[in-house]
């Protein structure tokens, strides 16, 4: 699989459908139309170190992909962390530590982490996976999948689009 987002159990599906309902219970991140993004660039020295232009291109791709659904993405912050274990993410403990250290305002901000996430192109958690304000929410993408990246043919920036769909409650 190229996507590491896990399928939901029947109980989790029912919880998600109940939460989404008519849309009135959705978070401010999801239903405001404007989604503020914090991009956390995890790198291993020079490997994985994205430029501001690459991050901006990803935001532009998200806006192009989600415009028909009236979502707009605004880059709120970019930060850079040199951490080899987090860059080549292999354990839940490292994922937890990374998100605990870096997540910004999870109830109001979409935290995107670029790295090599468990060998997948990307993954995300569904809205019901954690409490609304939990730092554990977030989207992970392989840094090489940004527009113009090195992961051909997945170098169009659409991995982030796919994973953000899960973050918003969409299934495969």
pTM: 0.86
Strand order in the sheet with 139-142: 72-82, 34-43, 109-115, 139-142, 122-124
Residue 27 has pLDDT above 50, yes or no: no
Instruction: Name the percent of the chain lying above pLDDT 90.
Output: 72
* pLDDT value of residue 26: 45
163 as an active site residue: the answer is yes
Residue 129 has pLDDT above 50, yes or no: yes
* pLDDT value of residue 144: 98
């Amino acid at each position: 699989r190229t996507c590491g987002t896990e399928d939901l159990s029947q109980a989790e599906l029912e919880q998600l459908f109940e939460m989404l309902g008519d849309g009135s219970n959705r978070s401010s991140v999801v239903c405001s139309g404007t989604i503020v993004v914090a991009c956390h660039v995890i790198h291993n020295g020079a490997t994985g170190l994205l430029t501001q232009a690459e991050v901006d291109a990803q935001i532009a791709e998200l806006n192009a992909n989600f415009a028909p659904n009236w979502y707009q993405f605004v880059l709120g912050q970019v930060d850079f962390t040199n951490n080899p274990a987090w860059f080549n993410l292999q354990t839940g403990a490292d994922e937890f530590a990374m998100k605990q250290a870096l997540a910004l305002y999870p109830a109001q901000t979409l935290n995107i982490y670029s790295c090599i996430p468990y060998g997948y192109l990307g993954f995300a958690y569904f809205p019901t996976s954690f409490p609304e304000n939990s730092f554990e929410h977030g989207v992970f993408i392989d840094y090489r999948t940004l527009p113009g990246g090195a992961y051909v043919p997945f170098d169009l920036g659409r991995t982030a689009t796919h994973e953000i769909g899960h973050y918003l409650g969409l299934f495969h």
